[in-house]
Structure 1
């Protein structure tokens, strides 16, 4: 049975590395689900054990915030914010800074992927109407969304998993992450502004094309629905910061309030839930649970410690998190490393390192791919080379800031 578990585990994580498996039409979600099905089907994991392996607080929290983000999208909030920002009388570098701040703040609460999905097409058209080259702003959108999402335990799926599993303090983590995130955003602005110097403007024909397309696929702003979503989001933040009410329970109540609407049909709300991501979590929970029970994971951790890479120490955990996040993607990497998260600083290290590492490569974050896809749809080339020219220095700078902050904290400040 151990051999079967190892084989399934190996194939699943090969799929995580490749983004799928050769010769079959499976993405990462399909691979993880098929791995879980295989383990249950051959009797290695019973259906009851599979259900017990799921970490329900994480799944509930993730679902609830997907509903909240759906509310904000259907209310036209992201489009409204982007358009308001775009018409401010700012110079191109100032507009870049404003975009970075706004996107980071939104991603810290409403998830980086959703923010990029809603903002990218509107941002492109708004930049072209101002005669600006959208590329620096798109790169800033992707980088700032990833960095900003690291600021809280609800900004992205891996942070939700870490916070729910390790029961981290919401306010405590936010204070821990504030320094690296703010300095990282400043470094991101500096890097992109320096790279874009003297090349801010776009060809006139692109501005004309944008004017002809200004209302395409834009959701009309609904003040009531937006206010409803912002009220629930503010209430949840207050609950997370000042009460002991379980975060997943509070978030689920908030989602229920939003689903109770006279105007927005639940079909439309639930249609914007990323069910594939939830299924990915389910599949990986089952596969990782089976692998943990073989004892091989503990042996691997002991072997790394013997080789001078003890994962119960901050520096090795930081380095391995960055490496694995770019190898298998951040959610699978965090799931693998959570059992080794025994150091008091392990939670913040996992959350910050896995998230900031997502800016290194175009495929390192779904947010990056969403922005690249929006660019391609409007004739803008944002491939892995273009992204790497910004993503690599941004990632190196933000990780260096994070490492220096961690060393300073461990040294007593």
Structure 2
């Protein structure tokens, strides 16, 4: 077997399992090592490797991470989480508020960054109220994944798909907003049904730390206002101008970083460098494999067998399966080079976004958001097992997939 294929398979095995078997190498490490190995074994030249990295997508994601990070540094996320979670409402209503909050934030501020910022806060606040954090964390995670489908800037995979297909901000939103909104009652309904009567922490459960009620977190209103104005400016530029999206995002990041009150180091610290490295490594690994001609041959054979990647329904099914094998971001990167750039590209973009966003709630490693929630909860003493995650994730994903298939059928009718 060719060394290129071996390296590729090992990288994607690590993506599927979360680590390289026998080694303490996580997904990002595997992608970076894989890229270096491709260059070292001369499966791809230095120049070709650099050219393979889509710096437009990386620049767009980095810029939006900075904008989202400004809200974190200003205390907005902490303030909003404590404000919502401290409301004197019943657990089902609190669940609904968190679903709406998670979906709304992820649609404009990128879901992974939102989950990183708010998960520890939700754990603390639910424990302080004597509530079982699990249903609230799961619903928040599911809602950020499905809500992020609404816009191009909602998730990294949306950005990758949009850049690959040349989708417009408004065109994408027209075909993705409705199913994203309709998914939220499904998320709430499934989780509320599964955890009815189990909202409170068990009195005998001493393994879970109790926390004292926390006051509403403080927020720097001036910095939050600045971040909000920049965000509105970014979205307006996406909609009303023809400027490159990465240039808009990086310009916004520059405005955020030039600050007399907040250290740029603090804002840069919110950037998910691991995700950026993961994507860059995969660009190189995928490009090296493409040079063998094997992916093109497989796609040709699949098309000959009647599997048409230009059909939104087919693309949705393939994307759904892949995102739960190797993760949603790698799935989009693997499929994007083989998509048609003509015809109903908005429908193709919606199919790719809906498949990777809605199906990613099936299992923990179906999305980066799921991994973040489970790992951060564990660091605070809350264990969410694969079985517990899937107990809610499988019916949520199944309901959302049916919704998405119906929507895609309507779009292409």
What is the TM-score when the length of structure 2 is the normalising length?
A: 0.93
Query: Using the alignment, how far apart are the partners of 1:388 and 1:404 within structure 2?
Result: 23
CA distance in 2, matches of 1:125, 1:140: 16
User: Structure 1 CA distance, aligned partners of 2:288 and 2:60?
Assistant: 24
**1:52 and 2:54 equivalent?**
no
C-alpha separation in 1, matches of 2:321 and 2:48 = 31
Q: Which residue of 2 aligns with 1:64?
A: 63
Question: What do the CA deviations read for 1:108-162 (whole angstroms, capped 9, x no partner)?
Answer: 1112122122222222232233343322211111101111111111111111111
Residue 112 of structure 1: aligned partner: 111
Q: Which residue of 2 aligns with 1:177?
A: 176
Q: How far is 1:220 from its partner? A: 4.2
Aligned to 2:273: 275
Greater shift in the superposed pair: 14-23 or 398-407: 14-23
Equivalent residues of 2:130, 2:210 under 8 A apart:
no
What SS does the aligned partner of 1:211 have?
coil
Q: Is the 8 A contact 2:313 2:351 kept in 1?
A: no
After the TM superposition, which of the residue ranges 397-406 and 305-314 deviates more from structure 2? 305-314
Partner in structure 2 of residue 76 of structure 1: 75
SS at match of 1:154: helix
Partner of 1:209: 210
> Residues 312 and 324 of structure 1: is their aligned pair in 2 closer, same or farther, counting only changes over 3 Å?
same
Distance across 1 between alignment mates of 2:291 and 2:366: 29
Match of 1:135 in 2: 134
1:56 deviates by 1.3
Give the SS at the match of 1:10: helix
Q: Over aligned residues, Cα RMSD in angstroms? A: 2.1
For residues 356 and 167 of structure 2, the distance between their equivalents in structure 1, rounded to whole angstroms, comes to 16
Query: Is the Cα–Cα contact under 8 Å of residues 58 and 165 in structure 1 kept in the other structure?
Result: no
Change (3 A) 1:68 1:177: same
- Please tell me whether the aligned partners of residues 341 and 347 of structure 1 are also in contact (alpha carbons under 8 angstroms): no
Alignment partner of 1:298: what SS?
helix
Matched residue of 2:210: which SS? helix
CA distance in 1, matches of 2:222, 2:391: 42
Q: Against the structure 1 CA distance between its residues 6 and 131, is the aligned structure 2 distance closer, same or farther, given a 3 Å change threshold?
A: closer
Separation of aligned partners in 1, 2:370 and 2:260: 35
Q: Which one is further off, 400-409 or 286-295? A: 286-295
Going from structure 1 to structure 2, the CA distance change for 1:272 and 1:357 (only over 3 Å counts) comes to same
Contact 1:71–1:229 under 8 Å retained in 2: yes
Change (3 A) 1:86 1:365: same
Task: Kindly state the Cα deviation for residue 366 of structure 1 after the two structures are TM-superposed.
Answer: 1.9
> Structure 1 residues 377 and 5 mapped into 2: Cα distance closer, same or farther (>3 Å)?
closer
**1:148 corresponding residue in structure 2:** 147
Name the counterpart of 1:39: 38
Distance 2:259 2:45 in 1: 40
CA shift in 2, pair 1:352/1:25, >3 Å: same
What is the CA–CA distance in structure 1 between the aligned matches of 2:210 and 2:24, rounded to whole Å? Answer: 36
In structure 1, runs of 5+ residues without a counterpart are none
The residue that corresponds to 2:374 in the other structure is: 372
TM-score, normalization: structure 1?
0.93
Q: Counterparts in 2 of 1:89-128, with a 5 A limit?
A: 89-128=88-127
Provide the rounded CA distance (Å) in 1 between the counterparts of 2:327 and 2:126.
31
Distance in 1 between residues matched to 2:177 and 2:327, nearest whole Å: 24
How many residues align structurally?
407
Do the aligned residues in 1 keep the contact of 2:164 with 2:337 (CA within 8 Å)? no
> In 2 relative to 1, CA 262–189 (structure 1 residues): closer, same or farther, beyond 3 Å?
same
How do 1:189-268 and structure 2 match up within 5 A? 189-203=188-202, 209-211=210-212, 214=214, 220-268=218-266
Rounded Cα–Cα distance in structure 1 between residues aligned with 2:83 and 2:156 = 29
Q: Cα 1:31–1:259, aligned 2, differ >3 Å: closer, same or farther?
A: same
**1:188 aligned partner:** 187
Q: Residue 294 of structure 2 corresponds to which residue in structure 1? A: 296
For 2:120 and 2:38, locate their aligned partners in 1 and report how far apart those are by CA, in whole Å.
41
Partner Cα separation in structure 2 for residue 363 and residue 307 of structure 1: 30
> Which residue of structure 2 aligns with residue 320 of structure 1?
318
Report deviation, 1:386: 0.8
Q: Aligned residue for 1:306?
A: 304
Q: Is the contact between residue 71 and residue 224 of structure 2 (CA under 8 Å) also seen in structure 1?
A: yes
Contact 2:139 2:191 in 1 (8 A): yes
1:51-72: per-residue Cα shift (whole Å, max 9, x none)? 1111111010011011112211
CA contact (8 A) 1:184 1:398 kept: yes
Q: Name the stretch that deviates more: 272-281 or 365-374.
A: 365-374
What is the distance in 2 between the residues matched to 1:200 and 1:40? 52
| 2:307 counterpart SS class | coil
For residue 193 of structure 1, report the CA deviation from its aligned partner.
1.4
**Structure 2 unpaired stretches of 5+:** none
User: Which whole-Å CA distance do the structure 1 matches of 2:368 and 2:196 have between them?
Assistant: 28
Q: Given that residues 58 and 164 in structure 1 are in contact (C-alpha distance below 8 angstroms), is that contact kept between their aligned partners in structure 2?
A: yes
> How many Å apart are 1:104 and its aligned residue?
0.4
